[in-house]
Amino acid sequence: MPSPPPPLDLDKLGLATALAKARKSYHEGGVPIGAALVSHSGDTPVVLGCAHNQRIQKSSPTLHAEIAALEDAGRQKAAVYRHSTMVGSPPFSYV
């Protein structure tokens, strides 16, 4: 069986950012899931927006990490989203 390809810089940046946000949510008593919207249109990946799940903290049925990360990114042109990847942290029982 072949080895999986090495992680890209985009993967590393996105996952590190999402995990940091998941830890924040965990320490706030919320659901420990984070997300990061990462642009890969240039030579270096850039985090456009990041957030954590805030359903518990704000009593919101819609503030999942991915939705909150899109909100954090602000309004973007469609072309920006075509060259971006949403990276989410795995759902952990602890972070």
27 phi, psi to nearest 5 deg: -70, -20
Mean pLDDT of 72-78: 96
pLDDT at residue 94 is higher than 60 = no
Architecture of domain 9-88: 3-Layer(aba) Sandwich (3.40)
Catalytic residue among 31, 66, 70, 84: 66
Let me know if 28 is a catalytic residue. no
Query: pLDDT-based confidence at 8, cuts 50/70/90?
Result: confident
Residue by residue, DSSP assigns the chain as -PPPPPPPHHHHHHHHHHHHHHHHHHHTTS---EEEEEE-SSSS-EEEEEEE--TTTTT-SS--HHHHHHHHH-S--HHHHHTEEEEE----S--
